[in-house]
Structure 1
Amino acid sequence: MTHGKARPAREWAAEAVFRPLAERLVPPLARRRVNPLHVVLTHTAVGLLAGGLLRRGHHLTPALLLQAKTVLDNLDGQLARATGQTTETGRYLDSEMDVLANAAVLTGLAGRWGPSLTLLLSLILTTDYLWERDHRGARGEVFRDPPAQAGDDPRLLGLLRRVYAVYFTPQERVLGALFEARLRSAVGGEPTPAHRLAYTPATISWVAVNLGLSTQLLALGVVLALRRPRLYLWSLPAQVLLLAGVQLWREGQVRAQRQPSSSG
């Protein structure tokens, strides 16, 4: 039985490689009542260790550590859903610890360019988040199920919310406003529900999902094993260009959808 999140599209790397491996770990950890938050902290520590080794010039060991980190990153959510331990704290903590590990890894690879590349990666992942949210919203679907468990530590949750507001919320607002403005421009006015459906096909979710973190770390592991880490660093701006191309395509979908009404 799978405990993965329902999504409009599937990330190949997660579905074919990391999620099946993580799923094997769910039953024994559930029997031992392991807290999913501890899994989050563990995979963060593994990512930080990989970043430290990259800074010292290692390649193969960090490559393997990043794959282990990705298995654990796929595990924490599965374990939380399987045991009814999903919490708001866990969602915030997982997102923010991923950024911390990503920053350590990219700084280890690129030195002073690490923070800028971390932000670039965050924008790619935020685009995936927003496109899925809009896809589900246009179809009247639930975007994220509410946490199964209450009782978060209010101080910790408050801190995590503030960190999220500082780092993630500006990205979501800027990109969300940009996508909405582009939709209105393509429509030439106020978008209808039909326009929003045309603007949010499953195709865009498939592209963005397959630039997800599991894919990113698998690709990075491969180029590290080949001792060509710069290939991954250069792939980040290439991914932005790909998403920009998809954005132009989705605008074209809206324009094509409105042609019959404008010609009639």
Structure 2
Amino acid sequence: MSKLPQKNQFLDLSDYGRPCARIIAQSLKKTSFTPIHVTIAFVFSGLIAIVCIFHQYYWATAFFLILKSILDAADGELARIKKTPSYTGRYLDSVSDILLNLLLMGTIWYVTDGSLGYAFLAFIGIQLQGTLYNYYYVILRNKHNGDTTSRIFEDSTPIALAGEKQKNVNILFFMYKMLYGTFDKIIYRMDKDAVKSSKLPNWLMTAVSTFGLGFQLLLIALMLVFGLKHYIVPFFIGFSFFILIFIGIRRFVNR
């Protein structure tokens, strides 16, 4: 099931794992497995990938990073199939992603013996890239009556949905705000008029989808496999300049 009506769907380069994710979700439809279980599975897959980097098992790293991306899509698919959307799952997913990203960049810094400062800048860049992609995507979903579990402005604790506890939502939302709040504010201030956009063309969304976490992890996997690990940090620092380019294009098409 898509997060958008069919006529508004675009080629999402970060969502290459969606076909496999749908198969996984369908296979779990009539089981006791919940979307939270799948989220926990992608956390383990990400942690295994990080351990593999330490031991320089880069093909194994690539496998588990891609598996992590597939499972990251599968938890949402399962939630939609079972009709059990939850803010608990939404925030657990996001909190897990940012913590895994931090560990991933820290591990890459360690195995490349590079600059910790530059590695941290690359982490900041990755998060800002992903935030811009999510910002535009959530605007598009809300505009066209798509999936609305994610909100454009995460400024207040949401009311728990059926089947989840408000306490869990409160804790995870607090963690989300602590970890993502600054990134959300930066991107909003850079392009606050995006919420009023009359057009977010499919071709632009496809271009911005290169900022999606799935695509970022795929690039990291390929660079590790092809012996380019020393280029990962500088690449993501440099790639962050496209944030300004994409915002400029968005403004141009809505002028």
TM interval, short-chain normalised: 0.7 to 0.9
Question: What runs of 5+ residues in structure 2 fail to find an aligned partner?
Answer: 111-115, 151-159
Q: Quick one: which amino acid aligns to residue 167 of structure 2?
A: R
1:221 paired residue number: 221
Q: Quick one: which amino acid aligns to residue 251 of structure 2?
A: E
Which of the residues 102, 121, 124 maps onto 1:119? 124
The alpha-carbon deviation at position 206 of structure 1 amounts to: 2.1
RMSD, aligned α-carbons:
2.6
1:233-261, CA deviations, whole angstroms, 9 ceiling, x for partnerless residues? 3321232122212222333344xx4xxxx
The alpha-carbon deviation at position 173 of structure 1 amounts to: 1.9
2:3 paired residue number: 5
The alpha-carbon deviation at position 74 of structure 1 amounts to: 1.4
1:251 paired residue number: 251
The alpha-carbon deviation at position 161 of structure 1 amounts to: 0.8
1:46-98, CA deviations, whole angstroms, 9 ceiling, x for partnerless residues? 11121123134332221111111111111111111111121010000101101
2:48 paired residue number: 49
Consecutive aligned runs of 4 or more in structure 1 exceeding 6 Å deviation: none
1:161 paired residue number: 173
1:142 paired residue number: 145
After superposition, residues 20-35 of structure 1 pair within 5 angstroms as 20-35=19-34
Highest relative contact order (Cα 8 Å, sep 6+), 1 or 2? 2
The alpha-carbon deviation at position 156 of structure 1 amounts to: 2.0
- Higher helix proportion, which one? 1
Q: When the two structures are aligned, how many residues end up with a matched partner?
A: 237
**C-alpha distance in structure 2 between counterparts of 1:73 and 1:222, whole Å:** 19
Q: What is the SS of the residue equivalent to 1:237?
A: helix
Q: What is the SS of the residue equivalent to 2:198?
A: helix
Residues 1:253 and 1:24: Cα distance change in structure 2 (over 3 Å)? closer
Q: Quick one: which amino acid aligns to residue 27 of structure 1?
A: Q
**C-alpha distance in structure 2 between counterparts of 1:127 and 1:13, whole Å:** 13
Residues 1:101 and 1:155: Cα distance change in structure 2 (over 3 Å)? same
Residues 1:74 and 1:226: Cα distance change in structure 2 (over 3 Å)? same
1:165-219, CA deviations, whole angstroms, 9 ceiling, x for partnerless residues? 11212221222122137x8xxxxxxx9x6xx326x44443222123211111112
Which of the residues 122, 130, 133 maps onto 2:135? 130
Alpha-carbon contact 2:14-2:214 (below 8 Å) kept: yes
**C-alpha distance in structure 1 between counterparts of 2:246 and 2:187, whole Å:** 14
Q: Quick one: which amino acid aligns to residue 91 of structure 1?
A: R
Structure 2 residue 112 is matched with structure 1 residue 107: no
Calculate the TM-score normalised by the size of structure 1.
0.79
Identity of aligned residues (%): 20
Q: Quick one: which amino acid aligns to residue 142 of structure 1?
A: N
Q: Quick one: which amino acid aligns to residue 236 of structure 1?
A: F
1:131-156, CA deviations, whole angstroms, 9 ceiling, x for partnerless residues? 2344456xx43364359952322222
Q: Quick one: which amino acid aligns to residue 5 of structure 1?
A: K
2:155 paired residue number: none
Alpha-carbon contact 2:90-2:149 (below 8 Å) kept: no
Q: Quick one: which amino acid aligns to residue 236 of structure 2?
A: L
Residues 1:45 and 1:152: Cα distance change in structure 2 (over 3 Å)? same
Q: Quick one: which amino acid aligns to residue 103 of structure 1?
A: L
Residues 1:29 and 1:172: Cα distance change in structure 2 (over 3 Å)? same
Calculate the TM-score normalised by the size of structure 2.
0.82
Residues 1:151 and 1:136: Cα distance change in structure 2 (over 3 Å)? closer
Alpha-carbon contact 1:99-1:118 (below 8 Å) kept: no
Q: Quick one: which amino acid aligns to residue 18 of structure 1?
A: G
1:74 paired residue number: 73
Q: Quick one: which amino acid aligns to residue 102 of structure 1?
A: N
